[in-house]
Amino acid sequence: MATGGNMRNIIATLFILAFITAAARAEDSSPVYGDIPDYGEKYLSPDFVKVHGERVYVTARTGDELIILKGDKIERRIKLNGHPSGVAVSKDGKYAFVTIAHPDGKLLKIETATGKTVSSAEAGHMPRAVALSPDSKTVYVANQFENKVRSYEASNLKKIAEGKVLRDAFSIAPSPDGKKLFVVNQLPEAKGGLYEENIAAAVSVLDATTLAAAAKIDLPNGSINAQDIAVSPDGAFAYCTHVVARFNVPTTQVERGWINTNAVSVIDAKKNELIATVLLDDMELGAANPYGIALAGNGKYLVVAHAGTHEISVIDRKKLDGRVAETFSKSDDKAATFEAVCNDLSFLSGIRKRVKLDGFGPRHLSAFGDNFAYVGLYYSDVLNKVDLESLSVKKVPLGGNENLNEIRLGDLYFHDASLCFQKWLSCVTCHTEVRSDALNWDLLNDGMGNPKQSKSMLFAHFTPPSMITAVRDNAKIAVRKGIQYIQFTRRPEKDSVAIDKYLSSLRPVRSPHLVGGKMSEAAERGELIFEIAKCSHCHSGNYYTDMKRHDVGSGLDEYKGFAFDTPTLCEVWRTAPYLYDGRARTIFDMFKKYNAGDKHGITSDLNDDELKDLEAYILTL
């Protein structure tokens, strides 16, 4: 460590560098929603769909519009200043509440008859979803990366309360009596440690008035990509879509859900307890990437959108609930029965129908009348209206662009399970939102029995080599090997090129740890420590990596003394846990517990406050 006058000179110089860096950040005009690329031409990307009376409200995520239809015809297009990330409609139909996804997020109250925004409110960092209380008096907003839910008075958008949830708040469903909020957390909490028995996403239950935590409902081990939740009209059950990743086995095959299965979990909404998790796949045909879920026909049907296989499942809800109840009533070992049901690829046999849609990328859906559902087809820029009795599908145009250019096509392919043998998974299954699923996977590319964290795809094509152990020279090779050895197929080279183009178009989301786009005082101190501790020797340049391999003393067992690839620190705030095996729950833990010998930065002389300052800076990148 430098001392005396030399230290003062270093600090003075670094203060100047920090000032220059802060000014450069202020000038940064790059996109702020990293999983939305610049396609080079306009697409709508219908995402959220909400039916109210005889009208259908659709958010165009990349088209920056709220589209209102009546009788399957467009009645009004409302231009929005940003990417809409959720929509709710008041009980009387007079107002739509729309969230705008941005680090400085907004909640808009829009008069549906005129399209005029009558009021707006600050909605925190990257608001992800919006819901209304049953009486339409309170608006709820989930903030994905702040792990928060906020509530507002619907009349004037005045903030009422704020509550904490677990990780990546992704969807909200109020109970019909207005007393509870069920909040889906997309990814597992970063627990750290080497031998965690249960790593899974969860559902948070909040008091709808105070937003105080009431319960945590853990989903089965390996549950990731929890996307949506719906509560039955009688308030008895909640249903949540998610993936069940079989991450504790080597990826030797994909058949019969060996690597991945796709599920709906059934929750007792009165007791806040998980009852059962049922698989949506068939024995030899996956139902990849379950996304939106809705109850139709006054609860008669449970309808699930499969974003990866471009279809919906229509489930007889009464028979589902009856089958679950009967199965568990006959069991003396509830835990064993739960496990058996969670692995039963035939459980929905005879009570579920799969309906192929006319288009690609269904995400959210909403019920219309007793027997219809509207589904947004993200990549086809259309809606589908599905008759849940006859299972017929009608394409509803939105005035979008159905011609996919190369980047848009690569985006589709990354999310498309049709590339996978038997359609069990897509690239986004393990690279959640094109980042990481927080799980360790044994991919067999450097031997067997050494699972490692999945990596973010952000800047992968600009920071070779690829994979944690640098077994691929670059991301282009990794894309092709992933299709071959994880999806167990071969595709034309042009498909991989399109994926390359898409991944190369990604940009980072501004960190939620910045305050108004600026670093806190702690982060500013941490920036100096980052230099003094020599972190920048390896984490250098625009991507905070020298693209070289280094032994930082983190290797265990066969990796003792191993030189790992230096990862980018861009968006590192988003990809906990840390180290190649997810051993460190936080950046602080990584330095405090797992940096013996100062190989991973000179941090042994730093006290806890200084380590927290260093962490605060790194989490702004």
Where do the domains of the chain lie? 4-30+511-618, 410-504
pLDDT at 11: 47
pLDDT at 2: 42
The token pair at 167 is: 């990780």
Element (H, E) at 377: strand 372-377
pLDDT at 409: 98
| Cα 494 from Cα 399, distance rounded (Å) | 28
| Cα 194 from Cα 253, distance rounded (Å) | 25
pLDDT at 197: 66
pLDDT at 35: 74
SS3 content of the chain, % helix, strand, coil (to 5): 20, 30, 45
| Cα 128 from Cα 171, distance rounded (Å) | 7
| Cα 85 from Cα 142, distance rounded (Å) | 10
pLDDT at 7: 41
pLDDT at 4: 40
pLDDT at 379: 98
Name the nearest CA neighbour of 410 among 382, 384, 379: 379
In contact, 69 and 55? CB cutoff 8 Å: yes
421: helix, strand or coil: helix
In contact, 238 and 299? CB cutoff 8 Å: no
499: helix, strand or coil: helix
Element (H, E) at 475: helix 475-485
Strands 65-70 and 382-387: unpaired
pLDDT at 503: 97
The token pair at 427 is: 């690239």
Give Cβ neighbours of residue 251 (< 8 Å, ≥ 6 apart): 258, 259, 441, 442, 443, 444, 485, 486
Amino acid occupying residue 306: H
| Cα 471 from Cα 562, distance rounded (Å) | 13
Max CA pair span of the chain: 81
The token pair at 432 is: 């959640």
Low-confidence residues in the chain, pLDDT < 50? 1-30
Alpha helix (H) residue ranges in 307-437: 317-329, 334-342, 406-414, 427-430
pLDDT at 22: 44
The token pair at 505 is: 């178009």
| Packed helices 493-504 and 406-414: angle between N→C axes, nearest 10 degrees | 100
Name the nearest CA neighbour of 367 among 424, 292, 419: 292
The token pair at 125 is: 């960092």
Q: What dotted CATH number matches 4-30+511-618? A: 1.10.760.10
Tokens 């929005």 sit on residue: 80
Sign of the dihedral defined by the CA atoms of residues 319, 320, 321, 324, in that order: positive
| Packed helices 317-329 and 334-342: angle between N→C axes, nearest 10 degrees | 140
For the sheet containing 95-101, what is the strand order? 83-89, 95-101, 106-111, 117-122
Read off the pLDDT of residues 546-568 as tens digits, 9 standing for 90 and up: 999 999 999 999 999 999 999 99
